[in-house]
Amino acid sequence: MSTKSDSRAVLSDTDFITLFEKAGPYEIHRNTGISLKSVFHRRVNLEKKYRRQITPPRPYNRTRRNIQHPGRIHYDVLDGHVLVASDAHYWTGPPSVAHRAFVKFCEDCEPKLVVFNGDAMDGAKISRHPPINWEDRPEVVDELEAVKLRLGEIEEAVPGNAKLCWTLGNHDSRFETRLATQAPEYARIHGFHLKDHFGKRWEPAWSAWINENVVVKHRITGGMHATRNNVIRSGMTTITGHLHSLQVRPLSTYADRPLWGVDCGMLARPYGPQFAYTEDNPVDWRSGFILLTFYKGILLWPEIIHYWDDDHVEFRGKLIKC
């Protein structure tokens, strides 16, 4: 039976609009059992029908979006956890502490959604950058096997009813960019896309949108103030990677609650062999990942899990062995 027709049967147009504007989409979901996707879909249809915007109360109304993009995936998380990691730059060899901790949290937190926010692959040998001092870079096939192994460990640790999303990073794109440049006639053949080598549960995307008020993507702006500028540019909470900085930056406005600009840090070791190009200079990078908690569809203060030593990560004032 169609959920959309169910929603029309439960609430008249007038009742739906009144409840949406007074209580918001999540209260309709809670009170009627209608899926959030159907609630938002009906809101759009009613706006077209009555030629006016139907705006929920704060804090929802500051993140009103109707843009559609083929690389965007929407997720509804009313209550529960979302784990977001980024920039593993997986190479051959043993996994990092942050990776082991991420697998552990996937097992223990029972997340509703896990997002790997770009740069699972490093693509060292297919980089535009030349090698430094004849550095030993892994072959593409070896690096790809490492990516499949590590993402498989994450997939195995995540509960079966949870969603898994992988957002494309700039290092990930090296795999297809090289092929598209050198052998474009192989486009759309299975195996020539990086996503073909991931487990079936991983959904590829440019961005993952959670509850229409949080966007997770690999990068938006750059520079040391990127987390703040991402929020200003997008007008909503942004969870990004790319900069390896591992930070949570609130941005308060006239609204009841702040927006957050979050950088997921890196699952890789900051001074790992992938980063020989830094020439052993000090880097403002941190190893770890992010835990998001939603309550009634609202994001609580994002939490950081970060590297402590080669056997532990720190979380909520405690050291957790991994």
Which tens digits make up the pLDDT trace of 217-275? 999 999 999 999 999 999 899 999 999 999 999 999 887 789 999 999 999 999 999 99
| 3-class DSSP assignment, residue 315 | strand
In a domain, 104, yes or no: yes
Q: Is residue 170 part of a domain?
A: yes
C-alpha–C-alpha distance, residues 124 and 140, integer Å? 8
The token duo for 13 is: 């147009």
Are 241 and 113 contained in the same domain? yes
314 & 287 share domain: yes
Same domain, 39 and 108: no
Let me know if residue 64 belongs to a domain.
no
Question: Are residue 127 and residue 269 in the same domain, yes or no?
Answer: yes
Same domain (yes/no): 45, 136: no
CA geometry: angle 73, 77, 80, nearest 5 deg: 135
Look up residue 222 and give its amino acid: G
Q: Note whether 119 and 211 are same-domain residues.
A: yes
Q: State whether 310 and 193 are in the same domain.
A: yes
Structural domain boundaries, residue 290 = 72-321
262 lies in the same domain as 197: yes
The reported pLDDT for the residue numbered 124 is 85
Q: What is the pLDDT of residue 188?
A: 83
- Say if 65 falls within a structural domain: no
Cα 107 to Cα 158: distance, rounded to the nearest angstrom: 6
> Residues 109, 291: contact at Cβ < 8 Å?
yes
130 upstream amide cis, omega within 30 of 0: no
One domain, residues 183 and 82: yes
pLDDT at 5 (0 to 100): 41
Has residue 62 been placed in a domain? no
* Distances from the Cα of 95 to the Cα of 16, 98, 278, angstroms: 51, 8, 21
Give the pTM.
0.80
The residues facing 321 across adjacent strands are 312
- Do 22 and 113 belong together in one domain? no
> What's the confidence (pLDDT) of residue 230?
96
Task: Say how many domains are in the chain.
Answer: 2
* Residue 245 is assigned to a structural domain of this protein: yes
Do residues 150 and 285 share a domain? Answer: yes
The pLDDT value recorded for residue 3 is: 41
Percent of the chain residues topping a pLDDT of 70: 94
Residue 199 lies in a domain: yes
Same domain, 43 and 157: no
Strands 259-263 and 303-309: unpaired
Residues of the chain with pLDDT under 50: 1-9, 61-64
Domain membership of residue 210 (yes or no) is yes
- Give the domain CATH number at 307: 3.60.21
Structure confidence at residue 4 (pLDDT): 42
